[in-house]
C-alpha cells in the first residue's frame, strides 16, 4: 500500500506507491515498497548527498534548504525555495590562503583582521591596525556632556590614543563618562587634543580660517608686529616703529604713520584732533590723511558727496523732523522727488488704503492676513465651509455626509447638506488643507436632473444631482430660482436653505 513521505515541517512531499521510484518530487529518488534492485538507487542517493550534488548545473526538482556544490563557480549554494544563493566560504589562519575567489572571507588570526577576496586578491575590511602598535582607525562612539546627554561622535585614534574628535555638536565633555584626556570641550567640526604645548598641531596651508586663538609658529615678526599678505600665499610683517603711530595704507603696503601725521593723539579720548571746531566731523581726504568738515549750524544733514561728505539743509529732503513726520507725502527722496507712497481711496497700485472721516475703507480689493472691522456687503453669493471630500467634485454637485472622508456625492433619498460652491462670499474653516468649499446657505448653481420650475423644492437624487421633490418635503435642501424644461443634468440657480 502507498505511504507518505513528509517534509521536516510535517507537510507531505509525496505519496509513494508500491513498486515504483519517484524521481520528480526532489533531486533524490524515493523508493516505493517491494521495488526490486533498490540498492543501486539507495546508494546513489547517499553518494549525491555526500557530494552535495556536485556539478556544473543545479540539481533538478530542488527543495528549500537543499545544498549544491557548484563545481564550475566553486561555491557552495543553498536553495531558498525560489533561487540558489551563495554560502559564504571563510577561512581562519595566520597566513593568507594561497587560493581564493571573489567573495571568499579570510580572518587573519595573527593580526585580528577580516579580509575579503575581490576576485584578484584578499583586501582588508578592518579593523585598521599596524603591526606592533595599537588600534589606528576612526571609531564611531558616543561622548557625554555635562548633563549626561550622549552625542554621536567619531574618535580619531592612532595607536590606541584619541588625538581628535569629529562632532556635529558643541558641548563640554563629562569627565565621568567617555572622557578624552586633553579634550575637555568638543566643538562642532574637528577638535584636536591640546593639553600641552606641541601636543597636537595642524600643519599645512589653509586658504581660509575663521578663528585662530594661538599662532605659535608665525615667526620673524617682533612683538606687536602686524602680519599682512605681500602676495598670494605669502606674508610679511609691519613692525611697530613709533609710539602712538597709526597703521595706514601706503600704496602696496601698510605702514605706521608719525604721531601727528593724521592729527591723532590719544585713541581713547581723541584729545589731539586739532584743527577742527567744536562739532566738526573728521574724514579721510586721502590714504593716511584726514581733515575736518566744520559744523555749520542747526537744520543740516550730513550726506555723501562724490569726493567728500557735506552738510545739506534738511528742507531739501522735504522733511520736518523725524519725530513728527506728519505726512507720508512729505518724505521726498533726494534721488527721485516723487518716490513716495500715496494714500488713496481707490485700488491703485503702490498706494496706501485711505479711510474717510468716518473710518470707512473704500478701496476695491483689500487683501490682508486678518481683517478686523464690519463688512457691509459681499461680492459673491453664498456662505460656505470647507469639508474633506472623497473625490474632486464639480461645482453644483449635491453632497451628503458620508464616503471615505467627510462628504460624498448624494444618492436618492439622502438628506443633502449643500452643494460644491463656485465663488463663496464667506469661507469658513479656510485653514483646512485639501478641503472643498460646500455652500450651506445662499444663492448658488446646483446640478439638477429633469425639468424644474421656479419655486420647486429640490431634494437629493443619485450621482450628486438634485430633482424636483414635490412629495418629499422633509428632504428639501434648496428651492429653484429659475425654470428649465431640459430633462438632462444641468446647472440652475437655486437657494440653499
Q: Is residue 8 part of a domain?
A: yes
Confidence (pTM) = 0.33
User: What is the span of the domain harbouring residue 256?
Assistant: 246-295
How confident is the model over 326-371, as pLDDT tens digits? 555 544 444 444 555 667 767 677 677 777 777 777 655 666 556 6
Domain boundary among 280, 295, 310: 295
Q: Which residues of 274-310 are buried (b: 16+ CB within 10 A; e: fewer)?
A: eebeeeeebeeeeebebbbbeeeeeeeeeeeeeeeee
How confident is the model over 283-320, as pLDDT tens digits? 777 765 677 788 777 777 888 877 788 888 877 765 44
Q: What is the pLDDT of residue 320?
A: 42
Domain boundary among 163, 192, 221: 192
Q: What is the pLDDT of residue 411?
A: 95
Domain count across the chain: 4
Residue 143 has pLDDT above 80, yes or no: yes
Same domain, 401 and 489: yes
Angle at 349 between CA 357 and CA 374, to 5 degrees: 40
Residue 379 has pLDDT above 80, yes or no: no
Q: What is the pLDDT of residue 219?
A: 58
Q: What is the pLDDT of residue 456?
A: 94
pLDDT band, residue 404 (cuts 50/70/90): very high
Burial class (CB in 10 A: 0-12, 13-18, 19+), 76: middle
Domain boundary among 150, 172, 192: 192
Same domain, 180 and 254: no
Q: Is residue 199 part of a domain?
A: no
Q: Is residue 209 part of a domain?
A: no
pLDDT band, residue 270 (cuts 50/70/90): very low
Task: Report how far apart, in Å, the C-alpha atoms of 95 and of each of 112, 113, 197 are.
Answer: 12, 12, 43
pLDDT band, residue 266 (cuts 50/70/90): very low
Same domain, 165 and 252: no
Q: Is residue 128 part of a domain?
A: no
Q: What's the average model confidence in pLDDT over 50-58?
A: 93
Q: Is residue 300 part of a domain?
A: no
Residue 48 has pLDDT above 80, yes or no: yes
Same domain, 394 and 462: yes
Residue 265 has pLDDT above 60, yes or no: no
Q: Is residue 13 part of a domain?
A: yes
Same domain, 175 and 250: no
Residue 201 has pLDDT above 80, yes or no: no
Task: Report how far apart, in Å, the C-alpha atoms of 154 and of each of 148, 164, 480 are.
Answer: 18, 8, 75
Q: 449: domain CATH number? A: 2.40.300.10
Q: Is residue 63 part of a domain?
A: no
Higher pLDDT, 220 or 187: 187
Q: What is the pLDDT of residue 337?
A: 47
Q: Is residue 96 part of a domain?
A: no
Amino acid at each position: 500500500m502507498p505511504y507518505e513521505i513528509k517534509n521536516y515541517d510535517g507537510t507531505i512531499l509525496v505519496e509513494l506507491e508500491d513498486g515504483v521510484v519517484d524521481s520528480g518530487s526532489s533531486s533524490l529518488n524515493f523508493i516505493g515498497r517491494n521495488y526490486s534492485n533498490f540498492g543501486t538507487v539507495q546508494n546513489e542517493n547517499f553518494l549525491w548527498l555526500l557530494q552535495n550534488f556536485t556539478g556544473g548545473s543545479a540539481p533538478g526538482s530542488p527543495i528549500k534548504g537543499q545544498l549544491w556544490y557548484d563545481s564550475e563557480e566553486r561555491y557552495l549554494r543553498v536553495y531558498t525555495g525560489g533561487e540558489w544563493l551563495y554560502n559564504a566560504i571563510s577561512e581562519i589562519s595566520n597566513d593568507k590562503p594561497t587560493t581564493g575567489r571573489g567573495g571568499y572571507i579570510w580572518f587573519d588570526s595573527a593580526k585580528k583582521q577580516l579580509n575579503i577576496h575581490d576576485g584578484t586578491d584578499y583586501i582588508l575590511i578592518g579593523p585598521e591596525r599596524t603591526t606592533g602598535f595599537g588600534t589606528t582607525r576612526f571609531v564611531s562612539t558616543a561622548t557625554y556632556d555635562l548633563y549626561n546627554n550622549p552625542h554621536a561622535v567619531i574618535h580619531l585614534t592612532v595607536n590606541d590614543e584619541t588625538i581628535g574628535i569629529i562632532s556635529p555638536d558643541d558641548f563640554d565633555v563629562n569627565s565621568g563618562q567617555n572622557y578624552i584626556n586633553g579634550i575637555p570641550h568638543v566643538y562642532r567640526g574637528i577638535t584636536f587634543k591640546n593639553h600641552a604645548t606641541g601636543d597636537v598641531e595642524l600643519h599645512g596651508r589653509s586658504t581660509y580660517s575663521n578663528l585662530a586663538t594661538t599662532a605659535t609658529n608665525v615667526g620673524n615678526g617682533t612683538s606687536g608686529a602686524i602680519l599682512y599678505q605681500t602676495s598670494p600665499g605669502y606674508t610679511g610683517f609691519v613692525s611697530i616703529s613709533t609710539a602712538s603711530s597709526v597703521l595706514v595704507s601706503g600704496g602696496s603696503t601698510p605702514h605706521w604713520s608719525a604721531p601727528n601725521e593724521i592729527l591723532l593723539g590719544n585713541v581713547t579720548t581723541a584729545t589731539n584732533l586739532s584743527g577742527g571746531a567744536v562739532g566738526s566731523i573728521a574724514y579721510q581726504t586721502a590714504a593716511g590723511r584726514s581733515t575736518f568738515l566744520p559744523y555749520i549750524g542747526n537744520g543740516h544733514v550730513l550726506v555723501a558727496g562724490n569726493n567728500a561728505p557735506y552738510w545739506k539743509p534738511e528742507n531739501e529732503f522735504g522733511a520736518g523732523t523725524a519725530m513728527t513726520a506728519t505726512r507720508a507725502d512729505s518724505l521726498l527722496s533726494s534721488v527721485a522727488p516723487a518716490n513716495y507712497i500715496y494714500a488713496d481711496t481707490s485700488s491703485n497700485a503702490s498706494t496706501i488704503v485711505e479711510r474717510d472721516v468716518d473710518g470707512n475703507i473704500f478701496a476695491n480689493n483689500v487683501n490682508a492676513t486678518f481683517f478686523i472691522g464690519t463688512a457691509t456687503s459681499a461680492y459673491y453669493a453664498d456662505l460656505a465651509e470647507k469639508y474633506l471630500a472623497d473625490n474632486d467634485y464639480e461645482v453644483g454637485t449635491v453632497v451628503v455626509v458620508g464616503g471615505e472622508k467627510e462628504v460624498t456625492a448624494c444618492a436618492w433619498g439622502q438628506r443633502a447638506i449643500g452643494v460644491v460652491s463656485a465663488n463663496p462670499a464667506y469661507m469658513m474653516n479656510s485653514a483646512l488643507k485639501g478641503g472643498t468649499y460646500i455652500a450651506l446657505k445662499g444663492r448658488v448653481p446646483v446640478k439638477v436632473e429633469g425639468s424644474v420650475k421656479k419655486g420647486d423644492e429640490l431634494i437629493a437624487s443619485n450621482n450628486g444631482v438634485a430633482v424636483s421633490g414635490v412629495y418629499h418635503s422633509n428632504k428639501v435642501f434648496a428651492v429653484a430660482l429659475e425654470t428649465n424644461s431640459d430633462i438632462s443634468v444641468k446647472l440652475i440657480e437655486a437657494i440653499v436653505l
